[in-house]
Amino acid sequence: MAAYSYAGLCYASPADVLPVVVAAFPFINSDSSTSIAASPAPTISAAGLVSYRLTRFDFVKNSSTSFNATLQLRPCSNVDLPYDYLVGSGFFGFGFAGVMILFFSAHAIGLVLKAVRDL
């Protein structure tokens, strides 16, 4: 399966890039809002052609129009590995827990030593 690029990153498969394209919507500016219609669902072909239906709501005219759109993705060769936020937050969580365990252990040891000294 071919790799395709979108927004400066190279994705390993068409299935990997489709959620990124969908996440670019809704697009809102001062006079209109453009969003992807829920039906029919956006699709992507093996050749990298993204097909979707857009709905544009005009704030000034208080009306909406729908139209079909396509986006042809460019093939790429060097796949970028996206940063895994779950792994990053796991490292942070374990690091924070480790520091807190050391802090409370040192505090408890200090209380024990103080009690022994006061005997």
Q: Do both 75 and 87 map to the same domain?
A: no
Q: Do both 65 and 93 map to the same domain?
A: no
Domain count, the chain: 2
Q: Do both 58 and 103 map to the same domain?
A: no
- State how far the Cα of 93 lies from the Cα of 119, in Å rounded to an integer: 39
- 14-57 per-position pLDDT tens digit: 888 888 888 888 889 889 999 988 788 888 888 889 999 999 99
- State how far the Cα of 78 lies from the Cα of 3, in Å rounded to an integer: 8
Q: Do both 75 and 92 map to the same domain?
A: no
The range of the structural domain enclosing residue 8 comes to 1-81
Please tell me whether residue 16 adopts helix, strand or coil conformation.
Answer: helix
- 70-116 per-position pLDDT tens digit: 999 999 888 876 666 777 788 899 999 999 999 999 999 999 999 89
Q: Do both 65 and 96 map to the same domain?
A: no
- State how far the Cα of 91 lies from the Cα of 87, in Å rounded to an integer: 6
**Residue 47 to residues 1, 6, 59, 70, Cα–Cα distance (Å):** 9, 14, 36, 12
Q: Do both 110 and 69 map to the same domain?
A: no
Q: Do both 46 and 104 map to the same domain?
A: no
Q: Do both 92 and 50 map to the same domain?
A: no
Q: Do both 51 and 15 map to the same domain?
A: yes
Q: Do both 108 and 64 map to the same domain?
A: no
**Residue 23 to residues 98, 101, 112, Cα–Cα distance (Å):** 36, 39, 55
- State how far the Cα of 92 lies from the Cα of 14, in Å rounded to an integer: 32
